[in-house]
Amino acid sequence: MSEIPSATKAATPEEILSAALKKVAAKDVVMACSFSVEDLVVIDYLRKLAPQISIFAIDTGRLHEETYAVAEALLQKYQLHIDWYLPQTLSLQQLERAKGLFSMRESLANRHECCHIRKVEPLNRALVGKAGWITGQRRAQSTTRNALQGIETDAAHGGILKINPLIDWSDEEVWSYARAQRLPVNRLHSQGYPSIGCAPCTRAIKAGEAPRAGRWWWENPEHKECGLHR
């Protein structure tokens, strides 16, 4: 991915969104929501700044019950519509019949296969015909994200814009905003889960561990992405 110069390191979410929406029409942009606290902050911004931007989520079939509770709370808070995308049934049947329900822990290749079926393929469908997508990614989240830019061209999805409004926010800024706006954050955050993905692939972290140490905890840090953010 390459940086688009108009988004500077110090840009605020408003500035990043404004710069992006000068390049692409809001109707052609979507927000990818995984119900992380960052995504809730971005959605709160979008409701104020660009409510016409639609929101989608991927139901991998392996999410925590607490994550579905966040989705329901969001619907109540904003009366918004979420476009859900699910994995292809045939692909899931083939995977589970051939390899069972926990093949992702047996090898990196198996984990990537599961992420591809449950996340990447539905994401690709969600982005068809779009000019840009918005995420809640931040540089401070992990070693795999420290080169992110506020606005990037996403070569993996045909060169559309990838917009990261919270690129330079710290943990403290995210949580301060979430508390101030009474956002319906996932209950698992208060149980040691700073980063939450699918249930079989997320554990609580221990004191001193990196925020994403509980994601695919059996893998090396440089592998800790699911293919959604390449």
Coil, strand, or helix at residue 52? Answer: coil
Q: Which of 114, 134, 148, 151 binds ligand SF4 (CB under 6 A)?
A: 114
Please confirm, yes or no, whether 114 is among the known catalytic residues: no
Q: Which of 62, 99, 187, 229 binds ligand SF4 (CB under 6 A)?
A: 62
Residue (60 or 164) nearer to ligand SF4, CB? 60
Contact status: 58 vs ligand SF4 (CB under 6 A) = no
The site that binds ligand SF4 (CB under 6 A) totals a number of residues, namely 13
Contact status: 201 vs ligand SF4 (CB under 6 A) = yes
Q: What is the amino acid identity at position 71?
A: A
* DSSP letter, residue 118: I
Stretch near ligand SF4 under the rule CB under 6 A, chosen from 70-78, 93-101, 107-115, 184-192:
107-115
Q: Find the shortest distance in angstroms from Cβ 152 to ligand SF4.
A: 23
Q: How far is CA 60 from CA 122, 212, 229, in A?
A: 9, 19, 16
Q: Find the shortest distance in angstroms from Cβ 63 to ligand SF4.
A: 8
Q: Find the shortest distance in angstroms from Cβ 118 to ligand SF4.
A: 4
- Could you say which residues in the range 16-45 bind ligand SF4, by CB under 6 A? none
- Using left for φ > 0, alpha for ψ between -120 and 50, and beta otherwise, residue 158 falls in left
Look at the alpha carbons of 227, 137, 2, 83 in this order and tell me if their dihedral is positive or negative: positive
Residue (25 or 86) nearer to ligand SF4, CB? 86
Q: How far is CA 137 from CA 38, 89, 101, in A?
A: 7, 29, 28
Q: Which of 29, 64, 119, 163 binds ligand SF4 (CB under 6 A)?
A: 119
- Enumerate the β-bridge partners of residue 85: 58
Interaction pattern, residues 136-175, with ligand SF4; x per rule: CB under 6 A = ----------------------------------------
Yes or no: say if 163 and 135 are a contact pair by the CB < 8 Å rule: yes
* DSSP letter, residue 168: T
Q: Find the shortest distance in angstroms from Cβ 4 to ligand SF4.
A: 29
59-89 burial, b if ≥16 CB within 10 A, otherwise e?
bbebbbebbeebbebbeebbeeebeebebee
Backbone angles phi, psi at 175, to 5 degrees: -70, -35
User: Strands, E, within 91-144: which ranges?
Assistant: 132-134
Rule CB under 6 A: which residues touch ligand SF4? 60, 62, 104, 111, 114-115, 118-119, 197-198, 200-201, 226
Q: Active-site residue numbers?
A: 226
